[in-house]
Amino acid sequence: MTDTNLRADCDTKQAWTFFLDWDVSYCAGGIPLHRFHPCSIGADVTEIRQLICADKTDHLCQDNKMQMRNNAMKNIGMMLFIIVLFITLTGCNILDTHEDNNIDDPHLDSSSSIIILFIGSSYFAYNRLPDIVNNLSDQNSKSVDIHSAITSGLYLADHANLASTESKINEKEWDYVILQGVGSLMAYPEYYTHHPVYPALITLQNKILANCNTTRIVYCLPWAYEDGMTWLSGWTDDYAAMQKKIFDNTIAYSDALGLIISPVGWAWNTVLQEKNYPLHYLHMSDWNHPSLKGSYLMACVIYSTIFQESTTGTDYYANISENEAVYFQEVASSTVLDSLELWNIK
């Protein structure tokens, strides 16, 4: 994931051959440049060495020496001019010629924005989730460039076959694409067959990686309905039972496809258990969509998934109480960071 050669596959692959040292380094935003050595250009040293006067008192010799020096200074001046011009045009640090194997890792390259695409529906649209992620990032001095393909009512199966979503995927070389899941489809794929998740994930993964093969694809582990499936005649699964099935299937899909999991629903599960399932706390009154608290918790989980850092101490609360926001920050951070391997983040 952090191999510079993989990052080069996403770039224009336009090689600039300035000099004859073929040890490739990376600079100027990931464009491959052949390593620059200032000594590759300069004055003709042999000629200068040959222009030596034996008779220091001879005026003609002194003139020759002065001419030599003038010529040498002109050559050196030209060399310095070319070096300065090269630095100005490329933005490269020619004094640091070692290869940086982590330069395409957005976690370590703080000089450029992390480009993120959200693909989903109303779960992302409610409370403007991408904006909350953006504000958390800004508050923590993280530079992000966030875009979205969000349409209420669409499932991932719809996005997988939608021309506008594919066009959005092909717009940029994304660092992260965040995919929104739906709890009922993940918990009961054998029952809800009209918008199958697994083939949709395969299709979207293929399209995303065809556009840029270093993009990290993150699937948000969904939350269960607040009342589980008890609203449906003959069903007995409550919230906890439904959430466990969502968890199991998400882990299985991630293992099969190599997707990163952002454990949103699992953080919700922790909060609701610890608070003894207060009514319409993380869910809206429709028992389904996220309240502002739910969206804030989701954003904190996604932030920690991307940056592998805690949100604890962030002074941005999205208009919820400070005490609740701090609690959500702590739960989100521990849910992600305590189980990086489980979520396929590392």
- 213: confidence class by pLDDT, cuts 50, 70, 90: very high
Same domain as 230, residue 170: yes
**Parent domain of 130:** 114-337
* Residue 96 domain-assigned (yes or no): no
pLDDT of 103 over the 70 cut:
no
- 307: confidence class by pLDDT, cuts 50, 70, 90: very high
Same domain as 250, residue 140: yes
- 16: confidence class by pLDDT, cuts 50, 70, 90: very low
Give the strand order in the sheet containing 114-120. Answer: 144-150, 114-120, 176-180, 216-220, 260-262
Q: Do the beta carbons of residue 6 and residue 104 sit within 8 Å?
A: yes
- Going by C-alpha positions, the residue among 240, 344, 223 that lies closest to residue 287 is 223
- Indicate the pairing of strand 24-27 with strand 31-34: antiparallel
119-176 pLDDT, tens per residue?
999 999 999 999 999 999 999 999 999 999 999 999 999 999 999 999 999 999 999 9
* Residue 104 domain-assigned (yes or no): no
Same domain as 156, residue 292: yes
Same domain as 252, residue 197: yes
Same domain as 225, residue 165: yes
| Side-chain-side CA neighbours of residue 228 (13 Å) | 17
* Residue 108 domain-assigned (yes or no): no
Q: How many CB atoms lie within 10 A of CB 294?
A: 25
* Residue 143 domain-assigned (yes or no): yes
Same domain as 330, residue 204: yes
Same domain as 140, residue 239: yes
pLDDT of 24 over the 80 cut:
no
275-306 pLDDT, tens per residue?
999 999 999 999 999 999 999 999 999 999 99
- The dihedral region occupied by 343, where left means phi > 0, alpha psi between -120 and 50, and beta the remainder, is alpha
Number of domains in the chain: 2
Same domain as 320, residue 207: yes
Same domain as 124, residue 62: no
* Residue 101 domain-assigned (yes or no): no
Same domain as 76, residue 35: yes
* Residue 99 domain-assigned (yes or no): no
Same domain as 119, residue 39: no
Q: What is the CATH number of the domain that holds 158?
A: 3.40.50.1110
- 110: confidence class by pLDDT, cuts 50, 70, 90: low
pLDDT of 54 over the 80 cut:
no
Span 32-50, average pLDDT: 32
Residue 6, pLDDT score: 32
Span 61-80, average pLDDT: 49
* Residue 344 domain-assigned (yes or no): no
Which residues make Cβ contacts (< 8 Å) with residue 111, sequence separation at least 6?
Answer: none
Q: How far apart are CA 278 and CA 157, in angstroms?
A: 33
Q: How many CB atoms lie within 10 A of CB 210?
A: 12
Same domain as 137, residue 63: no
CA dihedral defined by 277, 278, 284, 287, rounded to 10 degrees?
A: 40
Residue 7, pLDDT score: 28
Residue 286, pLDDT score: 97
pLDDT of 29 over the 50 cut:
no
* Residue 106 domain-assigned (yes or no): no
Span 304-320, average pLDDT: 98
